[in-house]
Amino acid sequence: MNKTIITVIGKDKVGIMAKVCNYLANNQVNILDISQTIVSGFFNMMMVADMTGSSKDFNVLASELKQIGEEIGVDIRTQKAAIFDRMHRL
Amino acid sequence: MLDIKEVIETNTMIMENNLDVRTITMGISLLDCNGATLDEVKNKIYNKITTVAKDLVKVGKDIESELGIPIVNKRISITPIALVGGSVCRCPEDFVEIAKVLDKAAVTVGVNFIGGYSALVAKGMTPADEYLIRSIPEALSSTERICSSVVVGSTKTGLDMDAIRLVGQMIKRTAELTKDNDSLGCAKFVVLCNAPDDNPFMAGAFHGVTEGDAIINVGVSGPGVVKAALENIKDANFEVLCETIKKTAFKITRVGQLVAQEASKRLGVPFGIIDLSLAPTPAVGDSVGEVLEEIGLEYAGAPGTTAALAMLNDQVKKGGIMASSYVGGLSGAFIPVSEDQRMIDAASCGALTLEKLEAMTCVCSVGLDMIAVPGDTKESTLSGIIADEMALGMVNQKTTAVRIIPVIGKDVGEQAVFGGLLGYAPIMKVNPYSCDKFISRKGRIPAPIHSFKN
């Protein structure tokens, strides 16, 4: 599995999830888990996704997601899950 | 499954607290680059570096974008050049030619520094060692990316005072040759005692002769992360303080370990070590000085600084050791003056003096680092300062180093500006009394006794 963490940070508004999920579905990225919270007034959303089935390269997916974020005024980061697993799990 | 709070914590460290991996340094052995002529050796050196390290920068950038953490520097360390060029270099100018080839190789593979224009002379100098040391001013002033170091002592061998005297002269000469840039050449030169063979940090990095053909060493950073963690436990007792530093160091180091393993796998080069160091930058919020202030000092240099630094350094190691399978290099809190905004401030206001810095280096890595002093400081005084710092390392069985910059044309009250990660520094006052007679003595200081410790 190519486990990836997608985080969305910004001002909450209608359609953020729809946009991101739509893009992931169109690119055969499977969403494994979604959670969200509010930190310092900002909407924080985290998706755990599996990119194994996607025909696009990690860097392409990451930059296209970042671009979608810019269009809707939120910050979207795509990172391999390994960095979080290593830091927080023994 | 990961918790969103953990993901936010990691990303806050990266985006707000300046967490980064400071350097991926590829160590490359040049011991197989021998030849009958200088030109043959130069060609072999260039070909080996540009072959072994050809993908280093690309792999570093790939890992950076996939993990979402900055990897600030991609660098190379090489076998000390005095050993590599010894059989074909007949004068200092021959070594300068090798320096220029190294600089060209660094540009070709895209690394910002290549370390190892070095000589290991802890007990004595061969003619080649001496040629290399004498070539340092010209080499550093005619190249951009070369870092140079000379190891002048160790706990096992004592101190080579002839080398220390010569190095003082060479520092002054380097300062003069680079005076148009605030004597920048000296910022790329370090004198060491008990130097590690696997240090990934410049300017003292070289690929020791005990190492394999190529290796990946990684230096982590993160003073901003430690400072942010301490802000949340403002009035805590020492137990809580130490636990917080340890846990933070553990997290930082785990990321370094991941980056090192990934780089090693993708480059097909064995993983060497993680250097557990709190390495500051001139950026606000990326300062070891700030961590010391958060612990409870008005400025770094105030009474209590040495104790606070000893504790900080020890906790960083205790937290980091378990996070990595191999730890090495310098591993400790760095206290370079010009590369740390709060250390600059402390030195500027007089809270931090050269003498206090010397005391601080007894309890942390690495030494008197990026210290700007008046341009008219005598060569023998520079050698005296170096000898003092080397003696601390020799007696205490630790690495110590001196990177000192006599800024030609400037005096106390003025500033030297080096730019980039090297930052800027106030010119610090130097004790004006002479050590001429001491430094002019020939020979070496014997190794210290290894028992009867008091």
Global confidence as pTM: 0.93
Q: What is the pLDDT of residues A50-59, one digit of tens each?
A: 999 999 999 9
Q: Shortest CB distance from B254 goes to which of A35, A46, A87?
A: A87
Most distant CA pair in chain A, distance: 38
| Mean pLDDT over each residue of chain B, to the nearest integer | 94
Give me the pLDDT at residue B312, please.
Answer: 95
CATH number of the domain at A3-88, please? 3.30.70.260
Give me the pLDDT at residue B411, please.
Answer: 96
What confidence category does residue B453 fall into, taking pLDDT thresholds of 50, 70 and 90?
Answer: low
A58, closest residue in chain B (CA to CA): B66
From B352, B381, B350, select the one nearest B369 (Cα to Cα): B352
Cβ-based interface (< 8 Å): residues of A facing B: 5, 7, 33, 35-37, 39, 44, 46, 48, 58-59, 62, 77-88
- Within 10 angstroms of residue B68's Cβ, the number of other Cβ atoms is 19
Hey, is the C-beta of B364 within 8 angstroms of any chain A C-beta? Answer: no
Rounding to the nearest 10 degrees, give the CA dihedral for residues B260, B265, B267, B269: 80
From B192, B102, B92, select the one nearest B134 (Cα to Cα): B92
Tell me the domains of chain B and their CATH numbers. 20-193 (3.20.70.20), 218-437 (3.20.70.20)
What confidence category does residue B81 fall into, taking pLDDT thresholds of 50, 70 and 90?
Answer: very high
Mean pLDDT (whole number) for B421-425: 87
Asked if B188 and B144 count as a contact pair (C-beta separation under 8 A), the reply is: no
pLDDT exceeds cutoff 70 at B176: yes
pLDDT exceeds cutoff 80 at B31: yes
Q: What is the pLDDT of residues B95-131, one digit of tens each?
A: 999 999 999 999 999 999 999 999 999 999 999 999 9
Residue A6 Cα, gap to closest chain B Cα (Å): 10
Written as one string, the DSSP assignment of B119-186 is EE-SS---HHHHHHHHHHHHHHHS-SSEEEEEEEEETTTEEEHHHHHHHHHHHHHHHHHTGGGTTGGG
ipTM value: 0.92
Could you give the CA distance from residue B395 to residue B159 in angstroms, rounded to a whole number? 11
Give me the pLDDT at residue B248, please.
Answer: 94
Give me the pLDDT at residue B454, please.
Answer: 62
Helix, strand or coil, per DSSP, at residue B103: helix
A90, closest residue in chain B (CA to CA): B323
| Chain A residues with beta carbon closer than 8 angstroms to that of B2 | 5, 46, 48, 81, 84-85, 88
A5, closest residue in chain B (CA to CA): B7
